[in-house]
Amino acid sequence: MNGQPLTEQAPAAALRLGTRRSALAMAQSGMVAREVTRLTGRPVELVEITTYGDTSREALAQIGGTGVFVSALRDALLEGRIDFAVHSLKDLPTAAPEGLALAAVPEREDARDALVAAEGLTLDELVEKLAGAGRAARIGTGSPRRMAQLNAWARARGAQLETVAIRGNVDTRIGYVTGGELDAVVLATAGLNRLGRGAEISQHLDPELMIPAPGQGALAIECATADADLTAALAALDHAPTRVAVAAERALLATLEAGCSAPVAALATWSPENELQLDGVVGDPDGAALLKMSANGPIVLDETAEQQARALGHALAARLLDAGAATLMGERAR
């Protein structure tokens, strides 16, 4: 040793990750935080932020739906109080915000909806059992999209089913079943899996029965466009097939000018031949009318892939509008 004093290197400053306070949001943000630390070597601090959607007890359709869970997080980003944010992608408005970048869309979890029912019964079993007892199955959901498809399914089969509007976190919703107030609830499979509660699923509702919300099962990581270094670092978490698929779904939603409070469903899936199939549904909540259409096309995962996917979504939405989708949504497309 040469006798020179050793200089300690200052530890890297922690990155501040903004997240909603719910158990699911914290679980999702924790997953991303660990990956960001692995990639960058920097610690990540979770900053809990309360959004309007978390505090309001009104139904999503009444408070506007789209944006109610993300606006406060975006404000924190733009004001420099956090460095990046993690959202459930289905909660994001389709319009791109000025000053913010969608830095990454990680690989999608299972996009399907899930039934959590008393005694672990499937939908068919539940309806049949309760019909034998002389009453309708009471199924809770906060989503007009789910209501529309459940009610359409029941109408097509002459099944006795009542959809009940509910709000609350996963514990609250499942509690309606375990407490006997409802016979079942419908939740996102991805959320249950991320919370380690997949074993409570009675049945995965495949898209043939229920198409999920646009972007369901995917996460969105946002940061300020001015932070080029962080944007580049976060891009390592991006999964191109997921980003392109949800681009098609969100383009359909944007063309319909609908939010997450409208009864609109969309799911884009890849074939082994790199063909993207987009299925879209628009209905009224009581299930009396349901429009379901599909479109597909080959897409190469290059710099034009998202543009091609959006074109697919716009085209399918136009067909749905021509068939009367605006009337079913209770809106008139502008």
Positions marked catalytic: 91
What distance in Å separates the CA atoms of residue 14 and residue 278, rounded to the nearest whole number?
Answer: 40
Cα–Cα distance, 192 to 187 (Å, whole number) = 8
Sign of the alpha-carbon dihedral angle for 130, 136, 138, 143 = positive
Give Cα separations from 39 to 34, 43, 233 (angstroms): 9, 10, 8
For residue 55, count CB atoms less than 10 angstroms from its CB and return exposed for 0-12, middle for 13-18, buried for 19 or more: exposed
Rg (CA), the chain: 21
Structure tokens at 117: 């029912």
The region that residue 174 occupies, defined by phi over 0 for left and psi between -120 and 50 for alpha, beta otherwise, is alpha
Q: Tally the residues of the chain.
A: 334
CA separation, residue 119 to residues 87, 96, 114, 318 (Å):
33, 44, 15, 43
Sheet of strand 44-48, all strands in order from the earlier edge strand to the far edge = 44-48, 15-19, 84-88, 219-224, 100-104
